Each structure stands twice: as structure tokens, then as C-alpha cells.
Structure 1
Amino acid sequence: MPNTTSPHILNTAANLLGFCLFVITSLHIANLTETHLIDEFTSVIAIFLTCSCLLSFASIRTSNPERERRLETIADYLFVLSLAGILIVILLITLNFIG
């Protein structure tokens, strides 16, 4: 069975990783000490996205169909978890600057 979602996960997770790094850099440049929790949470999400990228790339490159499916499934779960985390970060940033 050919990879159906791994190329999409790899592309989107890499783009979202850039978003996370932008958020982390912006918080450090702005020197916002009250956003320390947002910074740490975004760093964890960046790690999940990096793992998702690596696993989806490995899924694309492997020739073993069982390993391909397993790597793709793990990458998919990490990606969805990361999306939920990004939603939480966006809500935290919004609530932090509104209040």
C-alpha cells in the first residue's frame, strides 16, 4: 500500500515547525517574561512536529510495507497532537494579550 498521508504530514509539519520557531523567537525578542509557559509549551510542540517529520520521512523511504504503515500511523498521531497543542498556544497567546 503506497504512502497516502506521509508526504502531506511531512510538508505541513515542517511548515508548522517554522510557525512554532517563529513564536518562540518572537517571545524571546519581545522579552515577555509572563509568556514563559507559552514558550515551554511551544517548544514541546516543536519537538512533536520534528518527530512527526522524521517518522513521516522514514515512512516514505522504507521498503517494508508493515514498517511504512506503522511509522505513518505514529507520525499521524503526533501531527494531530501537535495541531491540538498549537490551538492551545494560540488561545493562550490571545488570552495573554487581551487580558
Structure 2
Amino acid sequence: MANNTSQHILNTSANLLGFCLFVITSLHIASQTETHIIDELTSCISVLLTFSCIFSFVSIRTSNQKKEKRLETIADYLFVISLVGILIIILLIAFNFIK
């Protein structure tokens, strides 16, 4: 049986992926050329969150305990890296509004 961590990673990663897609859409609607770095960083974070979702889902579905733990660890690391990336995105957006 899968650990509860994978279920939380899957749920939260999917929600944050929606946040990233909202940011990308908002930047394209605003057509701001100075937010190009934010747009690219958000796209990269979206890819990391998608892989985090995939690894956590496969971790939940597998019956092999060793494979489950390895996939869950990968999903966990991708999730933490994504959180740091989202922090950077939020700081860049905040500094962009201050200017």
C-alpha cells in the first residue's frame, strides 16, 4: 500500500500546476515583454510539477515496496524544487510590480 506522502504530493502538485498555468496565461494576456523570464521559469516549474504528479501517481499504483519508495522520493524532490521555483516566481512578480 502506498504511503500517504505520495497522495499529498499528487494533490498539491496538481493544484500548483494549475497556479503555474494561470500565471503563464495571465502573462500572455498582459503581453508584457519584461516578464519573459517569469514566463520561462513558470514553464519549467510546470514541467517539474507534472513529473512530480506522474511519479507520485505511479508510486501510489505500484505494488513493489522498493520501487514505491524510490518513486515517492523522486516525486518529493521534484516537488521541493518546484516549491523553491514558485518562491522565485512570486518574488520576481512582486519586484516587477514594485518597479
Normalising by structure 1, what TM-score?
A: 0.98
RMSD of aligned Cα (Å):
0.8
Instruction: State the SS of the aligned residue for 1:70.
Output: helix
Structure 1 residue runs of 5 or longer lacking an equivalent are none
How many angstroms apart in 2 are the aligned matches of 1:17 and 1:69? 23
Equivalent position amino acid for 1:92 in 2: L
How many angstroms apart in 2 are the aligned matches of 1:62 and 1:27? 38
Aligned to 1:51: 51
> How many residues matched?
99
Query: Stretches of 4+ moved more than 6 A in 1?
Result: none
Equivalent position amino acid for 1:25 in 2: T
How many angstroms apart in 2 are the aligned matches of 1:78 and 1:2? 18
1:40-89 per-residue CA deviation (whole Å, 9 max, x = no partner) reads 00000000000000000000000000000000000000000000000000
Normalising by structure 2, what TM-score?
A: 0.98
Task: Give the share of equivalent positions with the same residue, in percent.
Answer: 74
Instruction: State the SS of the aligned residue for 1:63.
Output: coil
Aligned to 1:34: 34
